[in-house]
Every structure is written in C-alpha cells, then in structure tokens.
Structure 1
Amino acid sequence: MEETPTELKIVILTGLSGSGKSTGLRVFEDLGFFCVDGLPVGLVPKLINLFDEKGGQRYKGLALGMDVRQADLDTDWGVTLAQIKVKNVAPQIIFFEADTQEIIRRYATTRRPHPLESANRGLEQAVLEERERMTPLREAADMVLDTTHFSIHDLRRKLQEKWASIRTTRGTLKVHVMSFGFKYGPPSEADMVFDLRFLPNPYFVRELREQTGKDAPVRDYVLAADPGREFLSRLQEFLLYLLPLYAQEGRYRLTVAFGCTGGRHRSVAVAEAVFDTLSKAGYNISLEHRHIERG
C-alpha cells in the first residue's frame, strides 16, 4: 500500500461468519496493526479519534473486525462510513466469504453455533440469511476474498499478497485485477473475464515452464510479439476507455479477470501489465494471482 507519513491506515474486515475473518485479523496483528474485533459500529468514529491521538505512532494502522454479531451493523453502517470519510480517512474494506456448504462444514467441524442460529432457524438458513444481510457491505468492499478452497496457511499468504498489492487513490473506481486458471474454474466474483488461451503458451517451452508470468522471459514470450503485443495494446486502450464510463454510472468496484489454462503464465503476464497500466492511470487497484502456485 502506498503510504504518506501522516495518513492513518484503517482496514475493516467483515464478511460471512466462518469465512476466515478472525484469521485475517491475526494476520494484520502480525503486520503491526492494532486490532479490535466485535466493536459496535457506532463506536468506530470515536475509536478512530482515540487511536489517531494515542496509537498512531506505535502501530502501522487500525484493523477492525465487524460481522452480524454487532446488532447495529445493518442500520448504522452507512452513517458510520460517512462519518469516517468526513475525517479525511479512507478505510480499506475486505469482505470474506465462502460457499454455503463449506461454511456449514466448518461449523460442523468446530461445533460452534452460528450467530444467527436459533430454535426456529437451522445452520443453512442462518448462513443464507447472513449472506443476504451482508450484501451491502460486500458491494462496498475494496476486496472480496473467497476462502472456500483455502487452508489457514493459504488464507494468511493470500491476504498478505493482496494487502501488499493495494494502491490507494481517493475518489476513483476501485479495480481488482485477477489472473486464474480455467482448469481450476473461473472466479465467481469477476465482472469481466478474458480468455487468453489464444496467446502462445510458455508451458510448452522447457526453459520457461517452471517460471511464471512475473518473470521477464515469460512476459516477453507472451507479449513482446504479436498477437500478444497487439492484443495488450488494444486491451489497455479498451479498459482506459471503459472504466471511466463505469465510474460515471456510479460503479464502486469492478473485478477484471484474465484466464489461461493453468493460471501461471499467460494470465499472470497480462494481469501484471494491466495492473501497471491502471496504476499509472491513477485507479484504486489491487492485484491477485489466484492459481499461480497451483498452475
């Protein structure tokens, strides 16, 4: 994340119960953030004032965990967020989610009750109701993290990678650029998906197979000559034309995904190039290589 010496960094971790928010808070604690879980939404502006005065020099930032356990989350979230922004603070919101059946499996393993379970509402109904109630927060998030197939270690690594890739520029559309492998399935959260399997495949070049799209030899193999060179030029022109139109229509966040067969070479090279272009254009942007290690 790009920093200025006086900027107060605030991260809000929220999402579905059982999707990894508590693990995420521990990651930020390890990164030197002061972490608070379960704070009533209405008290957040007061905590920010207190932290800015007392803890701004001791910690790298403030990380807050919020979920449906806070009774005022649904009703007070919009007002509280507006109060925070009035203070010239731009919080980063990370939303954790997972497939309903995976959340049910996790609760069955831990044998803990879901916050919305009751005598008249079973676990699956509780998860579905929570997903519906949390929709406004998901739509406002800077980053949506699907942990369905993550172990605790995967989640820690991915969260560190994602946080490190955030670029903050106030007042613009938030864009999440992603690479993935079609053999593992396209990302459900993507708003636009580009199939890059028409580009030359470094996998079939022995000396390039073990490298990734982050490495210069692979990047040059994919993009230095046509069709990759011409495609990238037209793609960048297209995105720079299209994104302002989304912003004018009030779109808050957009996820653009690039896929190849294994998610290791072509998609990574293109995602890196697009990330660099949009960063220089001043967009709020984050980058994720979802399958680079599996590919």
Structure 2
Amino acid sequence: MEHAARELPVVILTGLSGSGKSTALRVFEDLGFFCVDGLPVSLVPKLMSLFDDKGGQRYKGLALGMDVRQADLDTDWGATLAEVRRKQDLTQIIFFEADNGEIIRRYATTRRPHPLESADMGLEQAALAERERMRPLRDAADMVLDTTHFTIHDLRRKLQEKWASIRPTAGTLKVHVMSFGFKYGPPSEADMVFDLRFLPNPYFDKELRERTGKEAAVRDYVLAEEPGREFLRRLTEFLLYLLPLYAKEGRYRLTLAFGCTGGRHRSVAVAESVFDTLSKAGYNISLEHRHIERG
C-alpha cells in the first residue's frame, strides 16, 4: 500500500489569482487525477496518507490547488513542502502567473473580487501584494507558467503538452527547456537565454518555411552542417558540465530558453535536441515551444 502511494505523482497547482489555476485543475481532472482545491496547507500530508491503495488504483495521481485563500499559506507552506517531498518523491509544483495588467483585465471582465481586495486595498494593489506574498512558492516551483497571452484553450493545450513531457525523476535538478521567438519577446522566467539567430534559417527555404523544428528536414537544415553541428556539440558539452554544478549548489529548477526570430524553426530544433540529450542524461525535464504556432 505504501509503495503504491509513493509511486503516484502529486501535483501542486498554485500561483497568482486570475492566472489560470482553476482551469488547470480541470485539465488534471480530465487527465484522471484526484483534484482538491482550497485544502488548508497543514492538511496536505494527511490527505496524501489517506490516498491509499484504492485511490492509487482509481486515479493517476493527486492534483492540489493552493492560493492566498488558504489562511495558513504563509505560516505552514515551508514545513509542509519539506514533509511532502520527504514522503513523496514524485511531487511537482506548477506556478501560474500573468502580467499585472492582464490579471486586472481578467478581473474587470469577470467582475469578481480579488481575494485580497478590501475597503483599504483596490484591485491593482491587491494583485501586487499577492505577487509578493506568493514569491516563496514561485521560487520553490518546478515549473513556472506565464499565461499572459493564453486563452483558456491555449492554457489547456499547453498544460497537457507540458505535463506529457515531464519525466519525474527523484533527486535531480528540474530543467525546463523552451523555444521562443524574439519578435514576440523573450520569456521573463528564463534563467538562461540563448540567441540562435546566427544559425541557418529554414524560413528562406520555400520547402521548409511552413514546417517546424520538430521535423527531421528542418533539424538537419539547422544542425546537420556547420555552424549548427559544432554549436550543438559545444552546447551539449557545456550543459552537461554546467548542470551538475548548479545541482551541487542546491539549485532546484533551471529554465533554458532558446530563441530565434519567429520561434518556429531554429529554436525548436535546438530545444528538441537539448531535451533529448538531457532526458537521456537522467534529468527531470520538461519541454515547451512557446511561439511555434505564431512563428
């Protein structure tokens, strides 16, 4: 019984109010997870202990929604997270966020009050206060998902793609690899940004223009010849040297962003290659192509 519970993933969904957490919970429910929203932080370990053999046979895992509505969030979060990760290796924390302007627009559209709004605090001040209060959870997250430019359908698709690409592996550095287009702006959550606009651009080949870096013909165009081949060799060597140093220093999560002009060809090809390499090296890895449909 204990072994079955330990093998099931636990996903903690948290983040800024109005950034998509409720939609994400519905996605995980559709994926076969047992979902609970608004559970007091101090009760999380108890719920996990109750999720026994029967729960393990019926569900694919637990998905727990947490936000500023939990009164014990500030006081109990750190200790609870340590206890959860001590008992359950396959725990993933996904933090949802969006620009303040977009959060304010969403609340104005739905006409619902922000959880921190009061007679003394308006919507804008409440959104800023929540961002500061939630910073420790963001820092502890395995994945940070910015939903500023997402529709509900975009969020559902992206989350399904992301979760499908996560390879839970206990005790290793969590690495999130993403591609993006500079014309749409670099991702704010990136720890390292690599500019790939020096590589051969398939956009100027009519046969490849409408394809993406996921396809072998595009990957070969970008990486099979120089300078792509030598760049990929050196990049792989660099990352395999660097990541263990981050892990040794206690770094828990690292986001690597690879950018080209439109985020469709070169950045996707390199991100796919890096994802494959780090997966084979045993890292807990996830992959996102942020602008592949826009590029």
Which TM bucket (shorter chain)?
Answer: over 0.9
What amino acid does structure 1 have at the position aligned with 2:36? Answer: V
Contact 1:41 1:77 in 2 (8 A): yes
- Residue 214 of structure 1 deviates from its aligned partner by 0.6
Residue of structure 2 in register with 1:27 after alignment:
27
After the TM superposition, which segments of 4 or more aligned residues of structure 1 sit over 2 Å from their partners?
none
* TM-score scaled by length of structure 1: 0.97
Residue of structure 2 in register with 1:269 after alignment:
269
* TM-score scaled by length of structure 2: 0.97
Query: CA offsets, 1:39-63, max 9 Å, x none?
Result: 0011111111111243111111111
Measured on the aligned residues, the alpha-carbon RMSD in Å equals 1.2
Percent identity over paired residues:
86
Residue of structure 1 in register with 2:180 after alignment:
180
Count how many residue pairs are aligned between Structure 1 and Structure 2: 292
The answer for unaligned runs of 5 or more in structure 1 is: none
1:132 aligns to what SS in structure 2? helix
Contact 2:6 2:88 in 1 (8 A): no
Contact 1:94 1:145 in 2 (8 A): yes
- Residue 248 of structure 1 deviates from its aligned partner by 1.7
Residue of structure 1 in register with 2:190 after alignment:
190
What amino acid does structure 1 have at the position aligned with 2:227? Answer: P
What amino acid does structure 1 have at the position aligned with 2:200? Answer: P
Residue of structure 2 in register with 1:8 after alignment:
8
Distance 1:239 1:205 in 2: 30
Q: Does 1:294 align with 2:294?
A: yes
Residue of structure 2 in register with 1:65 after alignment:
65
Distance 2:137 2:280 in 1: 28
2:164 aligns to what SS in structure 1? helix
Contact 1:8 1:52 in 2 (8 A): no
What amino acid does structure 2 have at the position aligned with 1:217? Answer: A
User: Would the alpha carbon gap of residues 226 and 103 (structure 1) be closer, same or farther in structure 2, given more than 3 Å must change?
Assistant: same
Contact 2:5 2:56 in 1 (8 A): no
Residue of structure 1 in register with 2:54 after alignment:
54
Distance 1:218 1:92 in 2: 33
Residue of structure 2 in register with 1:37 after alignment:
37
1:226 aligns to what SS in structure 2? coil
- Residue 84 of structure 1 deviates from its aligned partner by 1.4
Residue of structure 1 in register with 2:77 after alignment:
77
Residue of structure 2 in register with 1:248 after alignment:
248
The answer for unaligned runs of 5 or more in structure 2 is: none
Contact 1:8 1:89 in 2 (8 A): no
Report the more deviating stretch, 36-45 or 79-88: 79-88
1:255 aligns to what SS in structure 2? strand
